[in-house]
Homo-oligomer: A and B are copies of this chain.
Amino acid sequence: MEAALTAGIGTPLSRSAADALNSVDLTALTPGTPAFVGAVERVLTSFFTTRREIVDPLGPVFVDAAEALAQFVVRGGKRTRPGFAWTGWLGAGGDPAGPDAAAVLTACSALELVQACALVHDDIIDSSRTRRGFPTVHIDFEDRHRAAHWPGDGAAYGSAVAILIGDLALAWADDLVHEAGLDPAALARFAPVWARMRTEVLGGQLLDINGEAGGDESVEAALRINRYKTAAYTIERPLHLGAALAGADDDLVAALRVYGTDVGIAFQLRDDLLGVFGDPAVTGKPSGDDLREGKRTVLIAEGLRRADPESAALIRTGLGTDLSDADVDRLRTVLKDLGAVDDVEGRIRDLTHSGLNAIAVSTTTGPAKKLLYDMALAATRRTA
C-alpha cells in the first residue's frame, strides 16, 4: 500500500475553488443578475473539480454519486443566499476591488452546498418526486436501481443514497469555507455565525416537520418556523456572515439582522399567500397547491385563530386532501372573510417597513442600502 499512500499525502489540496474567480471582475457583480449567478457557479463548478482528488480513488460508484450532487447544485437557483451574504459584506465596507474579494465570494458560495443538503434531505422527508423539473435525488437513484435490474427495494436504495449525498453536501459546504482562502481572523469571525446558521435551519426544519405531524397550530408556532427555516437561513444569517467577514461592528450587525429577520419573514408570508391565491400561469404551480399539501402557514394559523368552530372544521378537514377547484375556492373565501388575508398583508407591510427602516438609519454603505431596498421589494411584492 505504501506507494499509493505516499502519493496521497499531498495536503492541502492542490487547487482552491477561489481560483475560478481569477478572471472575473468582482466590482461589477450585483446579486440576482446573471453575472453574479455565473460567478457563484464558477466557484461551485471549480470546487467540485477539486473534490475529484479525494473522490476518484474510491472508484466509479462514488464518482457517479458526487457527479449527481454536482449536477444538482450547478443546475439550481438564483443563488439568493450567496447574494445576501455578498451584500452584507459590501454593506459593511467590503471592497470588491480588494485582495479578499475572491475568498469572500467563495465562502459565500458555500451556502449553496448547505442548501443542497437541505433540499436533498427535505425531498426524502416530503417524498417529493421532482425538483426544478428533474427527478429528485432519491428518485433518480431509485430509477438507477431499477435500470440495473437489481433485486431488493429500489425506493430504500434511493433514499439511502440520497441521505449520503445530502451528508456529502453538508460536509463539502465546510470544506469550501475552509479552502476559500479567508485569512484566519476573517474565518474566526465567520465560523460562529456559520455554526448558528446551520443549527438554526436544521431546527427550523424540525419544527416544520413537527408542526405538520400534529404539533402546535398557533400563529406563534408558524411564525417561529418562518423565522428559523426561512428568515434566519435565507436572509438574516447570510447578511450576518458577510458582515462578519467585513468585520462589521455590533450596531451594523444588529441592523442587518433586523432587516434579515423582518424581510425574511415577510418573504415567507408572501410565499404563503401565493401558495393559496397565486396565479398558476405566473407561479408555475397548481392553483391552491399549499392547501392540497396541507402546509401549516401563518395564513392558516391566523384563519384558525379567527374562525368559529364551523369554519375551523372546514379548514381542518379540507387541508392536506385532494381538494377540487371548487373546494379550493371555498377555502379561499373563508380565509378572506375571516380577515386572515388582510392580517397577513398587514404583517408583510409592517415587517418590510421595519426592516427597511433598520437599514435606513444604519451605517450600511450607500450602494448596499440601495441593493437591500430593491431586494426587500422583490421579496415581498412578487407575484411568483
Oligomeric state, in copies: 2
Q: Say yes or no: is A214 at the interface (Cβ < 8 Å to chain B).
A: yes
Write the A166-190 contact mask toward B (1 if CB under 8 angstroms, else 0).
Answer: 1110111011001100001001110
Q: Say yes or no: is A161 at the interface (Cβ < 8 Å to chain B).
A: yes
Q: Say yes or no: is A383 at the interface (Cβ < 8 Å to chain B).
A: no
Chain B contacts of A326 at CB under 8 A? none
Q: Is the beta-carbon distance between B55 and A161 smaller than 8 angstroms?
A: no
Q: Is the beta-carbon distance between B172 and A170 smaller than 8 angstroms?
A: no
CA distance A5 to B171 in the complex (A): 28
Q: Say yes or no: is A97 at the interface (Cβ < 8 Å to chain B).
A: no
Q: Say yes or no: is A292 at the interface (Cβ < 8 Å to chain B).
A: no
The contact size tier of chain A is 35 or more
9-residue interface stretch from A70-78, A146-154, A268-276: A146-154
Chain B contacts of A171 at CB under 8 A? 170, 195, 198-199, 202
Residues 73-121 (chain A) with a chain B CB within 8 angstroms? 117, 121
A256 to B: closest C-beta gap in Å: 10
Residues 202-258 (chain A) with a chain B CB within 8 angstroms? 202-207, 209-210, 212-215, 224, 228, 244, 250, 253-254, 257-258
Q: Which chain A residues have a beta carbon within 8 Å of chain B's beta carbons?
A: 1-2, 5-6, 8-9, 11-13, 51, 54-55, 58-59, 61-62, 65, 117, 121, 124-125, 127, 145, 148, 150-152, 156-157, 159-161, 163-164, 166-168, 170-172, 174-175, 178-179, 184, 187-189, 191-193, 195-196, 198-200, 202-207, 209-210, 212-215, 224, 228, 244, 250, 253-254, 257-258, 261-262, 354, 358
7 extra interface residue pairs, beta carbon distance < 8 Å, beyond A145-B213, A150-B213, A174-B195: A12-B192, A62-B207, A117-B167, A151-B214, A152-B213, A164-B209, A171-B199
